[in-house]
């Protein structure tokens, strides 16, 4: 990857990130690709996903629930919220969940000032 900046690896735990990782693992196991190539693919995935989310996602929402746990470590906030309701700004419908984990990072890339 020609871009030397690093990106958060948060989206690797999304369903598409897990599927990509599983596929790359299968390809490594069957010796169709080298592990170094899989690592470069995952780094490209991190960069592309972060850029698409930053540029394309414009929808806003609000939520209300009971804060169960919060922590701040290595410039990353993590919140566990129970009995939570989400509402999109342009929609009157709400979505309920028993428990949600929210991970929040700076919009600046690691190492940026």
| CA-based R_g, the chain, Å | 17
102 close to 69: Cβ distance less than 8 angstroms: no
Question: What are the tens digits of pLDDT across the range 19-38?
Answer: 999 999 999 999 999 999 99
Question: What are the tens digits of pLDDT across the range 28-64?
Answer: 999 999 999 999 999 999 999 988 988 898 888 899 9
Which residue is it, tokens 């170094």? 36
pTM of the predicted protein model: 0.66
């Amino acid at each position: 990857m020609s871009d030397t900046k690093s990106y958060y690896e948060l989206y690797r735990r999304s369903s598409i990130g897990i599927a990509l990782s599983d596929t790359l693992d299968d390809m490594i196991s069957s010796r169709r690709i080298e592990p170094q190539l899989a690592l470069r693919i995952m780094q490209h995935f991190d960069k592309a996903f972060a850029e698409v989310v930053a540029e394309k996602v414009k929808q806003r929402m609000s939520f209300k629930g009971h804060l169960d746990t919060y922590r701040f470590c290595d410039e990353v906030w993590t919140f566990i919220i129970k009995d939570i309701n989400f509402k999109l700004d342009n929609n009157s419908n709400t979505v309920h969940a028993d428990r949600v984990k929210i991970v929040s990072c700076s919009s600046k890339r690691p190492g940026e000032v």
